[in-house]
Amino acid sequence: MEACELPMEIITYILSFLPIADRKEASLVNQTWYFAAQDTLRQESIFYNIPATSASLRTIQNLSRRHVCSVRMTNLDGSTTSRDVIKSVASFLGPHLRSLCLHGSSLTEANFSELLLACPRLTALDLSGCNSLFMSGTLLSKEETFLQAQETLINLQELNLSGVRYLSDLTFNRLASCCPSLAKLSLARCHITFEVDTYYGSSNYNSSALLSFRNLLHFVRERASTMKALNLSGTSISSQAMKSLVQVENLCLQEMVLQACRDLTNEAVSILCQHQPHLTVLDLSGCSELSDRAVLVITSRLLSLQHLCLGKLPRVTDAGFQGISHLKQLQSLDVSECSLMRCSELVRAFGTMKGQPKLVSLNVAFCSLLRDNLVISLAEGLKSLRVLDLSSCVSITNRSIQAIASHLLLLRVLRLAWCKELTDWGLLGAEEPREERERAREKDAGPKFSRNFGNMGFFQPPPQDLEQDTQILIDLSKQDAQQKHKASLNALTRLQELDLTACTKLTDASIAKVISFPELQRLSLSLVTNITDTSLTAIAQNCQSLEHLTLSHCTNLTDKGFMEAAGSLHRLQHLILSGCNQLTPRTLKAIGQECQQLKSLDVSMCSKISMTDVEHFQSQLPLQSQTSIQSRFVGGADLSITL
């Protein structure tokens, strides 16, 4: 039976196993596959970006046939084009929309009301950064519009008002009263007053000048039975305010996000954990006053936690994680930029935990005290990891990367930016020769001086050439490397994102051979200055799912490499080439001809590309193209003068 004769349901089920990019390609097979692919995208609530341009009008009509459920609108303002786009979305997409994001838009109240009232099935509304909408304080002030909004927003469960500077008690109450089913509220970075009682005991919380904690507390008390998630990041919430909030009767929060609440204390966290023990998501990143005491309370009381973010806590040490083994349901942990962390307690906890830990995401970026032995232990104990971030863990070496390649075979995201000790030998899964290690150690130590100046470090034997070493080029599966349980990086066949930024010791010898991942979508090789066109063409041929490619300051790349590689990068959407000084307009031409899905291109500081070249490239793009081009300091501008 041919695939085109299969029932739609079967094709939809088969396509559901593919990455989104592959489903897009599959949708081009025929009409049946097209509609099957659209069904799978709808099931995952994929957001469709709609910029406020005239080119979007036709796209909106096409999207209406797919019954799109989630839309993100950008660049909205008071212009005629924006009004036309809003009317088109309201007419064609409004009846089916469940999620609407207007982040940072400058639309008028009239346009917002028109759009909102056309979306009766909304369950999520994002108005973050929409300051112009709240500036006048008259949003939903007309009784007719208010009553219509009450009918429209009756099913709304998520409301994001982050970063709205002009939000007041009056406008908040109007909007919130239209949302009886609200379960998730974000007021991050809003100017909430916690200490001053501006109402002097009055129960009429309708100030048009400020947003008060007293009014927020009143709202939470009224909605305690339905509220499940709060985001108060970037506010000055105090211990007393936290105590009043979490002790509200019948309040049972599942998610609490308090990023960068710099006044938050250990006492406040203890109160939170005591009264909201059923939290599954807790984010305290950037709360710089917290110490080990807060972490110990979290790990002992919040036993249902699935996602814990404790990044940027400079006072936290390994001692705070002595009870991390109590969190049996933990799926993701972020301790990035905790500069005193060695992760020894994490190793001990996950190593002694009964059964396989459920952790799938671990972020230890910028934990500079982390060493190879601990990374190896983590890799051996956390074989279910899908995401691992070791960025700027500057002490890890080839031993760590080989342990990762040997044990973490389910990894989808691996970030190793600024891990400068990684070399070709590590990526290839081969043991570095003793002579090479000694030479590297001598180089790092600087020149040696003796009494007769016989060895000043100026005359050193050339480094071993991997290209000519037949023992390295032989199939690694037959070598001693595998017998010693070492593996090359390409053992991670499921990788979708790889970051090797500033791993300056890497060369073509490993990059061209190892970076071969059929599902890889994001790759960064910025500041890996030793790679040449050889690596570029190999990557293009072996990673044809690439959508984001960052090669800034790879100064050995030339036009020839891009002319050969561009033909294999059909899915490329974002390309960063800033500081690649050998590139000329020939590279722009190759990219323009082959990379038809390109959305952004950065050629800043490319000395051989001029503004005239950039303008010519833009003129050759299709009229409907939305490609954004960054071209700062092109043509060899003198930065010292320009800045």
Question: What is the helix (H) or strand (E) element at residue 184, kind and residue range?
Answer: strand 184-186
**Residue 453: which pLDDT band, with cuts at 50, 70 and 90?**
very low
Distance in angstroms (rounded) separating the CA atoms of residues 203 and 631 = 56
Query: pTM value?
Result: 0.87
pLDDT tens profile 544-577: 999 999 999 999 999 999 999 999 999 999 999 9
Please provide the average confidence, as pLDDT, over all residues in the chain: 87
Look at residue 260 and tell me whether its pLDDT is greater than 60.
yes
**Residue 445: which pLDDT band, with cuts at 50, 70 and 90?**
low
- Closest Cα to residue 94, out of 127, 125, 71, 126? 71
Query: Domain residue spans in the chain?
Result: 1-42, 47-194+208-227, 545-636
pLDDT at res. 25: 77
* Same fold? 1-42, 47-194+208-227: no
Distance in angstroms (rounded) separating the CA atoms of residues 197 and 570 = 60
**Residue 438: which pLDDT band, with cuts at 50, 70 and 90?**
low
Look at residue 292 and tell me whether its pLDDT is greater than 60.
yes
**SS3 readout for 475-544:** CHHHCHHHHCCCCCHHHCCCCCEEECCCCCCCCHHHHHHHCCCCCCCEEECCCCCCCCHHHHHHHHHHCC
Residue carrying the six token digits 């490993």: 510
Read off the pLDDT of each residue in 371-398 and give the average, rounded to a whole number.
95
**Residue 197: which pLDDT band, with cuts at 50, 70 and 90?**
low
Which residue did the predictor score with more confidence, 339 or 2? 339
CB-facing half-sphere around the CA of 495: CA atoms within 13 A? 25
pLDDT tens profile 484-511: 447 899 999 999 999 999 999 999 999 9
Beta bridge partners of 49: 72
Q: Assign a CATH topology to domain 1-42.
A: Monooxygenase (1.20.1280)
Q: Domain 47-194+208-227 in CATH: superfamily?
A: Ribonuclease Inhibitor (3.80.10.10)
CA 105 centroid distance within chain:
22
**Do the beta carbons of residue 350 and residue 341 sit within 8 Å?**
no
Look at residue 430 and tell me whether its pLDDT is greater than 70.
yes
Which residue did the predictor score with more confidence, 3 or 277? 277
Look at residue 231 and tell me whether its pLDDT is greater than 90.
yes
Look at residue 118 and tell me whether its pLDDT is greater than 90.
yes
Q: Domain 545-636 in CATH: superfamily?
A: Ribonuclease Inhibitor (3.80.10.10)
pLDDT at res. 399: 94
pLDDT tens profile 467-482: 444 344 444 444 444 4
**Do the beta carbons of residue 368 and residue 392 sit within 8 Å?**
yes
Q: What angle do CA 530, 531, 533 make, to 5 degrees?
A: 140
